[in-house]
Amino acid sequence: MNLKVSDEEMISQYLNSNSSVCFESLYNRYVGKVYKQCFSITKDSEQAQDFTHDIFIRIFARLDSFQGRSTFSTWLYSVSYNYCLDQIKRAKRLTTTQLTDDIDYSSTSADDNEKVDYELQRLSLVMNKISPQEATVLKMKYQDDMPVSQIGLQLNLKESAVKMRLKRSRNKVRQLCGASMFN
């Protein structure tokens, strides 16, 4: 009699005993499907293999966060889909170009690096002087690159309120950058 052990039973066994057999069984059960999903998004076999590997590492590191509100396969596919999209978005933000031998690439001087470091330190000091709410809205917009609509959802504000807070926070930062910061 061939009884198939459910995903939930294997997860429970894995969490209770850290059994590599359960890990291997779940991996073997879903690796092909996750790869196909990654490949359908990336259209690149090598990248899909890398993503599949990364997804399973993440899944088993966070298996205790699976709450059983949906089936394991639904949860796994959701994590896979979101991971692939996040990686593609990150790659678009961090575009790279191929260096060629016939172009003269100049590097920044030590003075330029010192100036950038000074400006970053100055900005950090200013960010510490503004309220946490102002810092949060600025970080969400410029550090996390979130659209105004998403910031509004996160902070439970209308878009117009988010835009006004961004404007006021930017103005406050500009004002503080112009003022002496070491008073």
CA-closest candidate to residue 126, choices 139, 112, 113:
139
Return d(Cα 147, Cα 145) in angstroms, integer.
7
What pLDDT is stored for residue 183 in this prediction? 41
Kindly report the CATH number that applies to the domain delimited by 119-178.
1.10.10.10
Of the candidates 69, 68, 71, 72, which has an alpha carbon nearest to the alpha carbon of residue 59? Answer: 72
123/174 Cα distance (integer angstroms): 10
Instruction: Write the CA distances from 154 to 140, 144, 176, integer angstroms.
Output: 10, 13, 27
Per-residue model confidence (pLDDT) at position 64: 76
Q: What are the structural domain ranges in the chain?
A: 7-93, 119-178
Are 85 and 41 in contact by the 8 Å Cβ rule? The answer is: yes
pLDDT at 181: 45
pLDDT, position 167: 92
Q: Would you say 79 and 66 are in contact if contact means Cβ atoms under 8 Å apart?
A: no
Q: Which residues contact 169 (CB under 8 A, 6 or more apart)?
A: 130, 134, 135, 137, 138
pLDDT tens, position by position, for the chain (183 residues)? 445 777 777 777 777 776 677 778 888 888 999 999 999 988 899 999 999 999 988 888 887 777 777 888 888 888 889 899 888 888 877 766 666 666 665 565 667 777 777 777 787 788 888 888 888 888 888 877 888 898 888 888 899 999 999 999 889 888 887 754 444
Write the class of the CATH domain 7-93: mainly alpha
Question: Which residues make Cβ contacts (< 8 Å) with residue 98, sequence separation at least 6?
Answer: none
Give tens-digit pLDDT for 138-164.
888 887 788 889 888 888 889 999 999
Distances (CA, A) of 2 to 12, 21, 164: 20, 17, 64
Q: Is 34 exposed, middle or buried (0-12, 13-18, 19+ CB in 10 A)?
A: buried
User: What's the predicted TM-score (pTM) here?
Assistant: 0.48
Q: Can you give the pLDDT at residue 99?
A: 63
What confidence score (pLDDT) does residue 118 get? 77
User: Which residue is associated with the tokens 């006021």?
Assistant: 168
